[in-house]
Amino acid sequence: MDAYILWRLQLEQTLAEFAEQATPVPGTLFVVGCSTSEVAGKRIGTAGALEVAESLYGPLAQFAKTHQLHLAFQGCEHINRALTIERKTAEKFALEPVSVVPVRTAGGSMSAYAFEHLEDAVVVESVRANAGIDIGQTLIGMQLKPVAVPIRTSVKQIGEAVVTCATTRPKLIGGVRAQYE
């Protein structure tokens, strides 16, 4: 089987299992961190490939459409992990666009691909997403709401990249006398 098809199928399976366990909330942010280098079996940041990004973008876009989510593609450390989103998403969440265009070598292939294919793409410094997927240990935790909850799926890797999913929950505050439901 072609590697690109396999990676796409692995991602589709991961997202399906995520949705079964976490029930995505329509209208919320879903952050995507993806090292295309790691997917292809190379060290993060060394072999970014737009072809890998292209093979993974479709399942992510379909997942977002199905669950009515706003995708936020995290860039690499060279742009301080800024995120590529649609302008309407930035407006909805009152996020200020910054002046940078992600490219394969500074931003990463996935973020660069998203910038070219999202409707009216902009880049913002950070978000507070309800959930996300990290493909290749890109460290999306900084983009999630404060209490992240890991979601375990049967898919442990996409290509050669370790995959981790997370959702979030509200903070539990108040101590022993507090009630939460």
User: How many Å apart are CA 78 and CA 129, to the nearest integer?
Assistant: 21
In a domain, 180, yes or no: no
Q: Is the pLDDT score of 90 beyond 90?
A: yes
End-to-end Cα separation, the chain, in angstroms: 49
121 three-class SS: strand
> Given this model, what pLDDT does residue 107 score?
86
User: How many Å apart are CA 114 and CA 74, to the nearest integer?
Assistant: 10
Task: Check which CATH number belongs to the domain holding 73 and give it.
Answer: 3.40.50.10360
> Given this model, what pLDDT does residue 48 score?
83
Q: What tokens were used for 71?
A: 């995708």
In a domain, 173, yes or no: no
In a domain, 35, yes or no: yes
Domain that holds residue 50: 3-168
Quote the number of domains for the chain.
Answer: 1
In a domain, 176, yes or no: no
User: How many Å apart are CA 162 and CA 177, to the nearest integer?
Assistant: 40
In a domain, 21, yes or no: yes
Across the range 30-54, mean pLDDT stands at 93
* pLDDT, averaged across the chain: 95
Express each pLDDT in 113-152 by its tens digit: 999 999 999 999 999 999 999 999 999 999 999 999 999 9
CB of 165 closer than 8 Å to CB of 13: no
User: How many Å apart are CA 32 and CA 116, to the nearest integer?
Assistant: 16
